Amino acid sequence: MTGTIEPHNGKPTAAWNSGGAEYENISRGIADSIEHCVLRVDPKPGEKILDLATGSRLTFQMYRPDPTSH
């Protein structure tokens, strides 16, 4: 992997790298997609799930099965 951003990924990269409130807005804008994904995965208590694209941690905050987990 070279770390080079392909031209067709320029706009999404710019959006995700813009940070701040816009990053949170993007996460909230896809919240229903996140919910759909979590429902499909159907996590059970005690299971561990690695979210490689956690971003703003919205998925973790909304669906962590154990509120004492970090």
- Beta carbons of 58 and 52 less than 8 angstroms apart: no
- Beta carbons of 51 and 59 less than 8 angstroms apart: yes
Q: What is the pLDDT of residues 12-60, one digit of tens each?
A: 878 777 776 677 777 778 888 888 888 898 888 888 777 776 666 777 7
From CA 66, how far away is CA 69, in angstroms rounded?
Answer: 5
Q: What is the pTM of this model?
A: 0.47
* pLDDT at res. 1: 45
* pLDDT at res. 69: 58
